[in-house]
Structure 1
Amino acid sequence: MPIIRLQTIIKAPIDRCFDLSRSIDLHTLSTQQTNERAVAGVVAGLIDLHETVTWEATHFGIRQKLTSNITELERPHRFVDEMVKGAFKRIWHEHRFEALSADETRMTDTFDYTSPLGFLGKLADVLFLEKYMTRLLLTRNQVIKEVAESNQWKALLQREKVLK
């Protein structure tokens, strides 16, 4: 049961960081390397409490689907998504946001998962899976940071408002 904890300092207000982290469109942008796309549930815009999204992506050469549900949401400080269905035995992902100043936010991810296949899953964690998942999260966080700190967030979040 690896637990991945990452912190990212973003030079942007907490509300912007929170909303970008819930953006289906930004998530898709940050996972281009796996051709990830939302195929069911909330497929565009901002995901909210008790809403689900089903992602389809290619990992390790295999096309996979994973459905997540937003189980907790305390705007703009935290939300949790949990796997409902997918290749893992369990995923619990907490997103925390702390305003360090009016224009600076600390974003903290806690990604707690259990691989399938018992001992083989634990071996995969040690050999490659934990590193792979960490890289995916770091890439996602870097995209959130770049979008939040540039003017790109305006078009993205304006589109979100139109969709709601």
Structure 2
Amino acid sequence: MAVVIEVVTDIAAAPSVVFDLKLDVDVHAASLAGSGERAITSSGARRLKLGDEVTFHARHFGLPWRMTSRITVHRRPDLFVDEQVRGPFRSLLHQHLFDAPPNAASSGGTIGTRMTDRMSISAPAGPLGAVVAHLVLAPYLRRLLRQRAEHVKHAAESAGERC
């Protein structure tokens, strides 16, 4: 059974800016520097596009982790999806959605983006894995998604500065 994690962040920047930052593997690695995150892309490019694969290396729970994901949907500036092709989960699907915040029309022309990270995970090991996914992995991944979202928010709102 899959566990769904969702983190919503409002950002005072255009959707195209936020979209591009989320696909930048250097921004991703910087946002999770505490886990020693490194990213290696299949294309060598630092900004991912449709069909690209990226392998992440990091330490989580004191253990080395490696996961490879592929960009399976790329609709700039509204949506992209990455899916695990190799790694620790039975399945991982991460949707990145970018749209106008609900109050954008009444904000006096302020440009903004509501960024939604929706991640669906399934752990290996049957019923035991499902319990671990729900009680341990989901809260941990929610924290990581919030940390990453705050990093992207800061980068986007800092007028192009890289964090």
> 2:140 aligned with 1:139, yes or no?
no
CA–CA distance in 2 between the matches of 1:107 and 1:80?
13
Cα pair 1:24 1:43 within 8 Å, conserved: no
SS in 1 for 2:137: helix
Partners of 1:126 and 1:146 in 2: CA distance: 29
Q: Distance in 1 between matches of 2:22 and 2:41?
A: 19
* Deviation of 1:125 (Å): 2.2
Structure 1 residues 40 and 22: CA distance shift in structure 2, 3 A: closer
One-letter amino acid of the structure 2 residue matched with residue 148 of structure 1: A
Distance in 1, matches of 2:47 and 2:145, equals 19
Please, which runs of 5 or more residues in structure 1 have no aligned partner?
157-164
Contact 2:155 2:162 in 1 (8 A): no
Aligned residues, how many?
Answer: 155
TM-score of the superposed pair, with normalisation by structure 1: 0.88
Unaligned runs of at least 5 residues, structure 2: 105-109
Q: Residue 107 of structure 1 aligns with which residue? A: 115
What secondary structure does 1:88 align onto? coil
Task: Give the counterpart letter for 2:9 in structure 1.
Answer: T
Are positions 1:46 and 2:19 aligned together? no
- SS of 2:135's equivalent? helix
Q: Quick one: structure 1 residues 146 and 154, their matched pair in 2 at CA, closer, same or farther if it must change by over 3 Å?
A: closer
The C-alpha deviation readout for 1:14-71, integer Å capped at 9, x for no partner, is: 1101100101010001111110101352555210000000011111111111000000
Instruction: Report deviation, 1:105.
Output: 0.5
Partner of 2:64: 63
Work out whether residues 43 and 53 of structure 1, in 8 Å CA contact, stay in contact via their aligned partners in 2. no
Q: How many angstroms does 1:127 deviate by?
A: 2.7
Q: Deviations over 1:67-86 (max 9, x none)?
A: 00000011100000000000
Q: What is the one-letter code of the residue matched to 2:155? A: V
**In the aligned structure 2, how far is the partner of 1:82 from the partner of 1:129?**
17
The alignment's TM-score, normalised by the length of structure 2, stands at 0.89
Secondary structure of 1:112 counterpart:
strand
